[in-house]
Copies of this chain bind each other. A is one copy, B any other.
Amino acid sequence: MGANNISVVSSLFVFSIMFLSISSALHTAGTRRKQYTPCKNMVVFFHDIVYNGENAGNATAAIVAAPQGSNLTILAPQNHFGNIVVFDDPVTLDNNLQSEAVGRAQGFYLYDRKNTFTAWLGFSFVFNSTYHKGTINLAGADPALNKTRDISVIGGTGDFFMHRGIATLMTDAVEGDVYFRLRVDINFYECW
């Protein structure tokens, strides 16, 4: 039985190595899905020019709903609570409104808090250029006065087929009630 024992010991040794590799493979597989290192990331800027009754030519967004007593050319009192704004904003790769747009940010935001600036966003980045073809769909809460705010990438199409992830919003500039610019760091954790 001596030979067998040695054989079993040898086998167990090889088993152990194998088991480690398999565990490691399993772990890698797990890590690939659950890792906190993005499988893809990108930074874009978008520029929102709200229609105020006098800037029809270059406005990219319009107030389309407001609470009782408000109108559609001035953002509502109480931190704009209740305003819904529809937008079609140019997306650029740097913070310059004049840079070539690589896509559009299209959808809506609504102001949902009376005692501070908080918005809720549902929109898409739509790309149809050499930069990218496809869409990234996003939704989430935007406590606009925080330095950074995380919303969800809830899906994507084309180059972003089935992607999910987190988009971090940062206010890059605000000019009165008419113009703001957001920097968006998009980290995809499911890339397909």
Please report the C-alpha to C-alpha distance between residue A84 and residue B36 in the assembled complex, in whole angstroms.
37
Which A residues lie at the B interface, using CB under 8 A? 1, 3-4, 6-8, 10-12, 14-15, 18-19, 22-23, 25-26, 29-30, 33-34, 36, 51, 53, 62-68, 71-73, 81-84, 86-88, 104, 106-108, 110-114, 118, 120, 122-124, 126, 135, 137, 139-141, 143, 150-158, 161-162, 164-166, 189-190, 192
Please report the C-alpha to C-alpha distance between residue A6 and residue B5 in the assembled complex, in whole angstroms.
10
* CB pair A164 B162 closer than 8 Å: yes
The smallest C-beta distance from A94 to any residue of chain B, in angstroms, reads: 23
Known: A88-B114, A108-B110. A141 touches B135 (CB 8 A): yes
* CB pair B157 A155 closer than 8 Å: no
* CB pair A120 B135 closer than 8 Å: no
Interface centre among A36, A63, A72 (most CB of B within 10 A): A72
Please report the C-alpha to C-alpha distance between residue A154 and residue B67 in the assembled complex, in whole angstroms.
28
* Residues on the B chain within 8 Å of A86, using CB: 67, 81-82, 84, 110-112
* Residues on the B chain within 8 Å of A66, using CB: 64
* CB pair B12 A4 closer than 8 Å: no
* CB pair B152 A155 closer than 8 Å: yes
Q: Which residue from B73, B83, B110, B137 sits with its C-beta under 8 Å from A141?
A: B137
**Additional A-B contacts beyond A3-B4, A64-B82 (14; CB < 8 A):** A4-B10, A22-B22, A33-B33, A36-B161, A64-B110, A86-B111, A120-B124, A126-B143, A137-B152, A139-B155, A140-B155, A140-B157, A152-B154, A189-B192
